[in-house]
Amino acid sequence: MRRWNQDHAAAGGTNEVNLTPLIDVSLALVVILLLATPLAFESSFAVRRAAATARSSAEETETARIEVAVLSADSVRVNRQVVTVAGLGPSLKPLLERSPDGMVAVSCRDSVPHGSFVEVLDTIKLSGAQDIAVAGR
Amino acid sequence: MRAPLVQGDTPLTRINVTPIIDVALVLVIILLITAPMLSVADVELELPQAHARDTEDPLFVSITLGPAGEVAVDDRMLPGLDALTTALRQQLQQSEREDLLVVVRADARLPHAVVREAMTAARDGGATRLAVATRQGGRR
């Protein structure tokens, strides 16, 4: 390698490695990682206001409205039936299949941790709900 | 300059600026991508884990609720939840979009009452679209 460099330099060529393409490709990889990281690890889901939902769905039948109340970290009430968080999905699916708009109104007790509340929202979304309305004060 | 800039009999008088423009453009793209990320408050958070995802809007205003009672709108720390409505209204007025998404980034250990109060304050401050931030936990 050294001999090649010496010969090449003697012949009038450059004996330095061109780092520009390497830096260029590295920076492009950094950009790809920056784009991929937030998409892969952080997300969010939309929630609506329960009061507005109640007004808009006033003309619908009573059975069409699905209400979920988070009672504690591991129990929820679906309409009038109390189930565990693990049993929420199977309880919700038949109700959502009958629901014309796929809307679920969610209320939560004050002392329930936010993580448990989001776990319930996640289960509702994965059960096929189109919209989630969260009850305010 | 060690290497003679000679090509045959004709000397090379112009510098090749293509690589420097190339690298500079990549740096600009990095800055454009990182600018929205830097607008989130630097608070240690344990976001709740979720599998579902539906809101993917690159432009949003964030409300950060830390485990020790920290409250921030974007990267601006606030003294408490009482100041949230005013701060958010100012932030939304500065933006060009009326229906800007407001993302509530709350720690998973916080009681729901705090998050609900923040969401109510956000609506009072003019937020029309609300979302709850989660940490993506893969597919079930």
One DSSP character per residue, B81-115 reads GGGHHHHHHHHHHHSS-TT-EEEEEE-TTSBHHHH
Cβ–Cβ contact B122 with A under 8 A: no
pLDDT digits (tens, 9 = 90+) for A83-97: 999 999 999 888 988
Q: Categorise residue A79: left if φ over 0, alpha if ψ from -120 to 50, beta otherwise.
A: left
Q: Identity (one letter) of the amino acid at B112? A: H
Angstroms from A124 CA to nearest CA on chain B: 9
Residue B36 and residue B31: Cα distance in Å, rounded?
9
Using a CB-CB cut-off of 8 Å, the residues of chain A touching B26 are 24, 27-28, 31
Tokens 């393409």 belong to A21
Contact B108/A30, CB-based, under 8 Å? no
Highest mean pLDDT among A93-97, B14-18, B42-46: A93-97
Q: How far apart are the C-alpha atoms of B14 and B1, rounded to whole Å?
A: 14
Predicted confidence at residue A69, as pLDDT, reads 93
Minimal C-alpha gap between B131 and chain A (Å):
4
Tell me which residue in B4, B115, B136 faces A12 most closely, judged by beta carbons: B4
Contacts of B108 in chain A (CB under 8 A): 113-115, 118
* A contact test, residue of B1, B25, B116 with most A CBs within 10 A: B116
Q: What is the mean pLDDT of residues B61-86?
A: 90
Q: What is the mean pLDDT of residues A64-80?
A: 89
Average pLDDT over residues B3-13: 62
Check if the beta carbon of residue B104 is closer than 8 Å to that of residue B63: yes
* Contact yes or no for A45 and B131 at CB 8 A: yes
Do B102 and B61 meet the contact criterion of CB atoms below 8 Å apart? yes
- Higher per-residue pLDDT: A14 or B94: B94
Q: Is the pLDDT of residue B69 over 80?
A: yes
Residue B14 has what pLDDT? Answer: 78
Q: How confident is the model at residue A55 (pLDDT cuts 50, 70, 90)?
A: very low
pLDDT tens, position by position, A110-127: 999 999 999 999 999 999
Where exactly are the structural domains of chain A? Answer: 18-59, 66-135
Compute the average pLDDT of residues A8-22: 69
Average pLDDT over residues B27-33: 81
Which of A125-129, B9-13, B61-65, B114-118 shows the lowest per-residue confidence on average (mean pLDDT)?
A: B9-13
pLDDT score for A34: 74
The residue among A116, A94, A115, A95 whose CA lies nearest residue A105 is A95
Q: Please provide the average confidence, as pLDDT, over all residues in chain A.
A: 79
**Rg over CA atoms, chain A:** 28
CA A107 centroid distance within chain: 20
CATH 1.10.3720.10 holds for A66-135:
no
Confidence class of residue A60 from pLDDT cuts 50, 70 and 90? very low
- Note the pLDDT of residue A2: 52
Which band of pLDDT confidence, cut at 50, 70 and 90, is reported for residue A58?
A: very low
Sign of CA dihedral A128, A40, B71, B127: negative
pTM over the 0.95 mark: no
Structure token digits, residue A137: 């004060």
- B50 vs chain A: nearest CA distance in angstroms? 6
Q: What is the pLDDT of residue A53?
A: 46
Mean pLDDT (whole number) for A9-38? 74
ipTM: 0.73
Report whether pLDDT(A12) > 80. Answer: no
- Residue A118 to residue B109, Cβ atoms within 8 A: no
Which has more confidence, A106 or B57? A106
- Per-residue b/e over B74-98, b at no fewer than 16 CB within 10 Å? beeebeebeebbebbbebbeeeeee
pLDDT of A14 strictly over 80: no
Interface of B with A in 55-114 (CB under 8 A): 55-56, 101, 103, 106-114
First to last CA, chain B: 61
CA distance linking residue A132 with residue B123, whole number of Å: 16
Q: Confirm or reject contact between B4 and chain A (CB < 8 A).
A: yes
